Amino acid sequence: MAKPLLNKAFTVGLLAAAAAVAFIIAFTFFQKGGYSERDSYTIFAFFGDATGLTWKSRVQIAGIQVGEVEGISLQGQRARLQLRIRKDIDFRADGCLTKRFPSALLPDALLDAVPGSLRAPSLRDLPAEQREVKCVDEGVSVAKLMGSLEKISNDISAVTGELAGTMRGEKGSIRDIIENLARITANLDRTVAESQGKVRAILDSTESLTGTLADVTARDKERYHAIAKNVEEASARLNEVLASLQDKGELKGAVAEARAALEKLNASLEDVKKTTAAIAEGKGVAGKLLTDERLGNKVGNALEGLSNYVDRLVKLQLQVDLRSEWLLSQRGAKAYFGLRLLPRPDKYYIFELVNDPRGGSTQTVEVDSTQVNNGPVTTTTTTKQIYDNRLFFSLEFAKRYGPTTFRVGIIESSGGVGADLHLLDDSLKISFNLYQFSRPQTDWARAKLWADYHFLRYFYVTAGADDILTTWRSGRYPGGPRFSVGRDVFFGGGVTFTDEDLKTLLSIGGSAIGGATSSSGGGGR
Amino acid sequence: MTPGGFPATFRRVRRIRDAIEDFGEMLFFALDTLRWAVRPPFRPELILVQMAAIGVGSVFIVTTTSFFTGVVLALQANYAMRQLGAEGYVGGSVAISLARELAPVLTALFVIGRSGSAISTEIGTMRVTEQIDAMETMAVNPVQYLVVPRLLASLAMFPLLTMVFDALGYAGAYLMGIYVARIPEGPFLEHTRTLVDPKDIFHGIFKSLIFGAVVAVITCWRGYSASGGSKGVGESTTRAVVASSIAILLVDVGFVLVTVGSGK
């Protein structure tokens, strides 16, 4: 019989396909690109007034969006704006940000950015805490603009009031003033016309006088120069005489002080000579340092090592992870306390303490041989399973390549490997662990698959399946405790945070242990 | 004290105590369902049947309501934003409302009305006609046979229907905004792209996943605990619809309170 055209499987598949197509279109359409952590970097700036700026407000250059506001927080009396900028935009330390209201009616503001000059260091290459944009202009809000306009209109109103008063005033109107000005200029014009002849005569006399003066100066030019030179020399001599007369009383004292100073200088030079001679012979710490090449190299290496150590310590991040999983079939909670040491963002070490309600079991085989009255030897083999509810530990090395992290090391007190897939800007992590390769109850290794979703900055939820390769069973050892093994589903949650204090304590503890080890080793040598 | 006052108070306290006990039993029922969900046999054919009933069965109501929700939202938003000369933001505001809130919540409410009541009635009828007891007699676990397929089908179908709601709602807003309200197409699409992030879509889908689990557990539990013949089945169906609708709104408020300001 032919299948019906619209059977259940077909309709469900059609619905799933339609939803998937809608999802892909929406995801592609809304994916802006350039603002993921990999494709962008963060900078920050302080504003006295962040009105109008919100999470995701635009940051633009020449009207083209190059970033967005990632977060706003209050620090003291100022607003700290965390901005995410596209990686291809090279924002410099002398760059500027200007808050602007693109619409006079809407309260939303945006940031106009000027990326700065090539002379200043690039913020992209600086550590995150030093990427501050210091040049900020808060622009003018509509409220401020309206306030200024109100002030201006009041001033204009006062000026026009005064003007109106002047026009209508009792002390004389503008019209009177203009009439007076017209009369004065008419009088001036008439006076100039009447005195035209006299003015011309004065000008002629002046011209003749200046001509005569020019002739005289040209003739006696050399003489005037000689006179000026003599006057200059005389004044210089006079200054010298006056200075000697003034310092006559202090001269003796000055000579005595100069002699004492010279004696001290001689003594100092003698000391310097002795010291440099001793250094040249390799005496003292400084001498050894300068003359002993091996020691100098050692000190150089030690300083370099110390600098590298401090550099690594500053970059080192320590994350604490507290996590609990409720195993449904087991009906028990598995608790984790983990420390994650991150010397680099793409490399870290995990140390974890795990309390597993399943506990651990070990198998021992005892062989007992007995012989009665020279008869045949009877061999009895006894296999014992020992179950104990113990604490496990994990010690893993992890390396991240793009969205994938690979882990290897000890997982829950046995050798193991693992991998993580990071999605949605690292909000979602899908992980897989394979460990406990030899277990007494089963031939399969323990495989665990789970997903963590960070719904807040520090908190996450988790769900997954443990021991997925083995069928679930539980039972009781003969005369012993219960055991559980096999597939189980769990869900739970956790909290993860970066702890600077713990990092400092660990580094001090590590240094102290290192120091103690090296000193005891040195003593034995 | 008025005559009969003490017994009335006692009855009220008793009713509250019963409600809390019922809630506790439902939580145990949910845990039991999760436990049975990972144990074989998995019965994919039953899951498929329920996917068709819950998902495909609700497609008509979801598509119709989503389209008109988008149309109405666009009209209202346009009316408000035109006053400010900001009608270009209509697409973005509608899209973000749909993605984060309206699509998951309205989808859940419509599926409760369409399929949640059917689930409750079906299981309730089986309970009062002792079919569930018969299953237990035949060593078939009724939770695994009846509830697990409905839970898994809800978990699969709610996100799909939410995505369909998102798409058709935005399509309705687009048609209304561009062709009726005459909003320029460029700003309409560009502001949608600026305002909405893929995270908003994921937020809505994650929410719908939780709603699916809540609806499946409540409606199945109400049917599973039905008693008192056909009248009891009717009452349990009504209680299932009311309880799951209120639960959806409460869970949504919880989501908003937890995620507000976190940027997630």
CA distance A57 to A67: 9
CA distance A401 to A419: 11
**In a 3-state reduction of DSSP, which class is residue A139?**
coil
* Structure tokens that stand for A42 in this block: 């963060």
Domains annotated on chain A, with CATH: 40-143 (no CATH), 202-291 (no CATH), 316-510 (2.40.160)
**In a 3-state reduction of DSSP, which class is residue A334?**
strand
Q: Does B56 touch chain A (CB under 8 A)?
A: yes
Burial readout B148-175 (b: 16 or more C-beta within 10 A, e: otherwise): bbbbbbbbbbbbbbbbbbbbbbbbbbbe
Q: Are strands A391-401 and A404-411 parallel, antiparallel or unpaired?
A: antiparallel
* Structure tokens that stand for A143 in this block: 């409220």
Question: How wide is the angle at C-alpha B51 spanned by C-alphas B48 and B55, nearest 5°?
Answer: 155
- Which has the higher per-residue pLDDT, A298 or B59? B59
Q: Does B87 touch chain A (CB under 8 A)?
A: no
pLDDT digits (tens, 9 = 90+) for A481-518: 667 788 888 999 999 888 766 666 666 655 555 555 55
Please answer yes or no on whether B38 and A58 come within 8 Å at the CB atom: no
Q: Which of A58, A456, A487 sits opposite B38 (nearest CB)?
A: A487
CA distance A495 to A460: 6
Please answer yes or no on whether A456 and B159 come within 8 Å at the CB atom: no
Has residue A22 got a pLDDT over 80? yes
Cβ count near A59 (within 10 Å): 24
Q: Which of B35, B51, B259 sits opposite A12 (nearest CB)?
A: B51
Mean pLDDT along residues B67-93: 90
The alpha-carbon gap from B264 to the nearest alpha carbon of chain A, in Å, equals 6
Q: What percent of chain A has pLDDT over 70?
A: 80
CA distance A313 to A310: 5
Q: Does B202 touch chain A (CB under 8 A)?
A: yes
Q: Does A265 touch chain B (CB under 8 A)?
A: no
- The residue in chain A having the minimum alpha-carbon distance to the alpha carbon of residue B36 is A329
Are A85 and A67 in contact by the 8 Å Cβ rule? The answer is: yes
Has residue A282 got a pLDDT over 50? yes
Burial of B28 (0-12, 13-18, 19+ CB in 10 A): exposed
The alpha-carbon gap from B9 to the nearest alpha carbon of chain A, in Å, equals 39
- Which has the higher per-residue pLDDT, A180 or A338? A338
Are A368 and A382 in contact by the 8 Å Cβ rule? The answer is: yes
Three-state secondary structure string covering A351-364: EEEEECCCCEEEEE
DSSP symbol at A129: G
Q: Does B35 touch chain A (CB under 8 A)?
A: yes
pLDDT digits (tens, 9 = 90+) for B124-166: 999 999 999 999 899 889 999 999 999 999 999 999 999 999 9
CB contacts of A106 in chain B (<8 Å) are 84, 86
The alpha-carbon gap from A372 to the nearest alpha carbon of chain B, in Å, equals 53
The predicted pLDDT at position A362 comes to 66
* Structure tokens that stand for B7 in this block: 């017994």
Phi, psi (rounded to 5 degrees) for A89: -95, 120
Q: Does B46 touch chain A (CB under 8 A)?
A: no
Which residue type is seen at B41? P
The alpha-carbon gap from B245 to the nearest alpha carbon of chain A, in Å, equals 24
Please answer yes or no on whether B262 and A55 come within 8 Å at the CB atom: no
> Domain locations in chain B?
25-32+46-253
Please answer yes or no on whether B159 and A19 come within 8 Å at the CB atom: yes
Are A73 and A97 in contact by the 8 Å Cβ rule? The answer is: no
CB contacts of A472 in chain B (<8 Å) are 38-39
Cβ count near A235 (within 10 Å): 9
Q: Does A106 touch chain B (CB under 8 A)?
A: yes
The predicted pLDDT at position B2 comes to 55
Interface of B with A in 124-183 (CB under 8 A): 157, 159-161, 163-164, 166-167
| CB-based contacts of A487, cutoff 8 Å, min separation 6 | A329, A465, A466, A467, A468, A469, A470, A471, A472, B38
Q: Which of A16, A424, A455 sits opposite B160 (nearest CB)?
A: A16
Please answer yes or no on whether B38 and A489 come within 8 Å at the CB atom: yes
Has residue A256 got a pLDDT over 60? yes
Nearest CA-CA partner of B252 in B110, B101, B30: B101
* C-alpha radius of gyration, chain A, whole number: 46
Has residue A287 got a pLDDT over 80? no
Nearest CA-CA partner of B152 in B35, B50, B30: B50
* Structure tokens that stand for A324 in this block: 């609990």
The predicted pLDDT at position A186 comes to 87
The alpha-carbon gap from A430 to the nearest alpha carbon of chain B, in Å, equals 16
CA distance A178 to A191: 20
The predicted pLDDT at position B8 comes to 78
CA distance B166 to B99: 6
Identify the band that residue A398 occupies on the pLDDT scale cut at 50, 70 and 90: very high
The predicted pLDDT at position A478 comes to 62
- Which has the higher per-residue pLDDT, B84 or A320? A320
The predicted pLDDT at position B94 comes to 94
Which residue type is seen at A490? F
CB contacts of A449 in chain B (<8 Å) are none
Q: Which of B48, B193, B263 sits opposite A29 (nearest CB)?
A: B193
Q: Does B259 touch chain A (CB under 8 A)?
A: yes
Has residue A1 got a pLDDT over 60? no
- The residue in chain A having the minimum alpha-carbon distance to the alpha carbon of residue B31 is A328
Three-state secondary structure string covering chain B: CCCCHHHHHHHHHHHHHHHHHHHHHHHHHHHHHHHHHCCCCCCHHHHHHHHHHHCHHHHHHHHHHHHHHHHHHHHHHHHHHHCCCCHHHHHHHHHHHHHHHHHHHHHHHHHHHHHHHHHHHHHHHHHHCCHHHHHHHCCCCHHHHHHHHHHHHHHHHHHHHHHHHHHHHHHHHHHHHHHHCCCCHHHHHHHHHHHCCHHHHHHHHHHHHHHHHHHHHHHHHHHHCCCCHHHHHHHHHHHHHHHHHHHHHHHHHHHHHHHCCCCC
Query: How large is the ipTM?
Result: 0.73
| Phi-psi sector, A321: left (phi>0), alpha (psi -120 to 50), beta | beta
How many beta-carbon contacts under 8 Å exist across A and B? Answer: 103
CB contacts of A8 in chain B (<8 Å) are 48-49, 51-52, 56
Burial of A281 (0-12, 13-18, 19+ CB in 10 A): exposed
The model carries a pTM of: 0.50
Question: A21, A25, A30: best mutation site toward chain B, by most B Cβ within 10 Å?
Answer: A30
**In a 3-state reduction of DSSP, which class is residue A349?**
strand
Most confident among A151-160, A241-250, B48-57 (mean pLDDT)? B48-57
The predicted pLDDT at position A510 comes to 57
- The residue in chain A having the minimum alpha-carbon distance to the alpha carbon of residue B171 is A22
Q: Does B41 touch chain A (CB under 8 A)?
A: no
CB contacts of B31 in chain A (<8 Å) are 328
Please answer yes or no on whether B198 and A58 come within 8 Å at the CB atom: no
* Structure tokens that stand for A437 in this block: 């390769």
Nearest CA-CA partner of A57 in A91, A31, A84: A84
- The residue in chain B having the minimum alpha-carbon distance to the alpha carbon of residue A22 is B167
**In a 3-state reduction of DSSP, which class is residue A200?**
helix
Which residue type is seen at A121? P
Query: C-alpha distances in angstroms, A399 versus A41, A393, A417, A418, A424?
Result: 22, 20, 12, 11, 19
Phi, psi (rounded to 5 degrees) for A170: -80, -25
Nearest CA-CA partner of B221 in B110, B109, B146: B146
* Average pLDDT of chain A, as a whole number: 79
**Beta-bridge mates of residue A74:** A79
Has residue B7 got a pLDDT over 60? yes
Has residue A523 got a pLDDT over 60? no
CA distance B245 to B203: 20
Q: Does A54 touch chain B (CB under 8 A)?
A: no
pLDDT digits (tens, 9 = 90+) for A79-133: 999 999 988 899 998 999 998 888 776 777 889 999 888 888 899 888 888 899 9
CA distance B234 to B228: 10
The predicted pLDDT at position A54 comes to 81
* Structure tokens that stand for B40 in this block: 């074989």
Has residue B263 got a pLDDT over 70? no
Mean pLDDT along residues A216-227: 71
Question: B36, B47, B51, B251: best mutation site toward chain A, by most A Cβ within 10 Å?
Answer: B51
